[in-house]
Amino acid sequence: TGFVTLDQGFVNTASTTSTITYIDGDAGILRYRGYPIEQLAERSSFLEVSYLLMHDELPTPQQLKDFADKIRVHTLLQEEMRTFFSGFPRDAHPMAVVSSAVTALSTFYQDALDPLDPEQVEISGIRLMAKLPTIAAYAYKKSIGHPLPYPDNSFDYVENFLRMTFGLPTVQYDVDPKVAKILDMLFILHADHEQNCSTSTVRLVGSAQANLFASVSAGINALSGPLHGGANAAVLEMLEQIRKDGGDVNSFVTRVKNKEKGVKLMGFGHRVYKNYDPRAAIVKKAAQEMLSTLDRPDPLLELAFQLEEIALSDDYFVSRKLYPNVDFYTGLIYKAMGFPTKMFTVLFALGRLPGWIAQWTEMMNDPANKIGRPRQLYTGSPEREFVAIDKR
Contact stretch for ligand CMC (CB under 6 A) within 31-39, 95-103, 263-271, 360-368: 263-271
**DSSP 3-state helix, strand, coil percentages of the chain (rounded to 5)?**
60, 5, 40
CB within 8 A of 177, min separation 6: which ones?
none
Question: Contact with ligand CMC (CB under 6 A): which of 270, 284, 335, 352?
Answer: 270
Smallest distance from ligand CMC to CB 188, Å: 15
Q: Does 94 bind ligand CMC (CB under 6 A)?
A: no
Question: Where on the phi/psi map is residue 35: left (φ > 0), alpha (ψ -120 to 50), or beta?
Answer: beta
Q: Does 227 bind ligand CMC (CB under 6 A)?
A: yes
Question: Contact with ligand CMC (CB under 6 A): which of 70, 243, 264, 274?
Answer: 264
Question: Contact with ligand CMC (CB under 6 A): which of 45, 199, 221, 325?
Answer: 325
Contact 23, 272 (CB under 8 A): yes
Report the Cα–Cα distance between both ends of the chain, in Å, rounded: 37
Question: Contact with ligand CMC (CB under 6 A): which of 43, 178, 181, 320?
Answer: 320
Contact stretch for ligand CMC (CB under 6 A) within 39-47, 180-188, 319-327, 371-379: 319-327
What DSSP line would sit under 335-351, residue for residue? HHHT--GGGHHHHHHHH
Q: Which is nearer to ligand CMC, 25 or 372 (CB)?
A: 25
Rounded distance, CA 176 to CA 162, Å?
9
Contact stretch for ligand CMC (CB under 6 A) within 69-77, 102-110, 125-133, 225-233: 225-233
Q: Does 327 bind ligand CMC (CB under 6 A)?
A: yes
Site residues for ligand CMC, window 7-66 (CB under 6 A)? 9
HEC sequence for 206-234: HHCCCCHHHHHHHHHHHHCCCCCCCHHHH
Contact stretch for ligand CMC (CB under 6 A) within 20-28, 107-115, 172-180, 227-235: 227-235
Q: Which is nearer to ligand CMC, 8 or 154 (CB)?
A: 8
CB within 8 A of 160, min separation 6: which ones?
75, 133, 151, 152, 153
Contact 198, 228 (CB under 8 A): yes
Q: Which is nearer to ligand CMC, 149 or 351 (CB)?
A: 351
Q: Angle at Cα 248 formed by Cα 245 and Cα 250, nearest 5°?
A: 135
Residue 30 bridge partners (DSSP)? 23
Rounded distance, CA 229 to CA 352, Å?
10
Smallest distance from ligand CMC to CB 254, Å: 12
Is 327 a known active-site residue?
yes
Nearest partner of 221 among 345, 95, 346, judged by Cα? 95
Q: Which is nearer to ligand CMC, 55 or 271 (CB)?
A: 271
Smallest distance from ligand CMC to CB 307, Å: 11
Q: Which residue is nearest to ligand CMC (CB)?
A: 269
Smallest distance from ligand CMC to CB 78, Å: 31
Smallest distance from ligand CMC to CB 136, Å: 17
Q: How many CA atoms lie within 13 A of 299 on its CB side?
A: 10
Q: Of 93, 190, 193, 270, which one is the catalytic site residue?
A: 270
Residue 268 bridge partners (DSSP)? 324
Q: Which is nearer to ligand CMC, 159 or 327 (CB)?
A: 327
Contact stretch for ligand CMC (CB under 6 A) within 95-103, 123-131, 221-229, 356-364: 221-229
Rounded distance, CA 125 to CA 315, Å?
46
Q: Which is nearer to ligand CMC, 212 or 322 (CB)?
A: 322
Question: Where on the phi/psi map is residue 179: left (φ > 0), alpha (ψ -120 to 50), or beta?
Answer: alpha
Q: Does 346 bind ligand CMC (CB under 6 A)?
A: no
Site residues for ligand CMC, window 195-214 (CB under 6 A)? 196
Q: Does 228 bind ligand CMC (CB under 6 A)?
A: yes
User: So which residues are the catalytic ones?
Assistant: 270, 327
Residues in contact with ligand CMC by CB under 6 A are 9, 196, 227-229, 231, 256, 264-271, 320, 322, 325-327
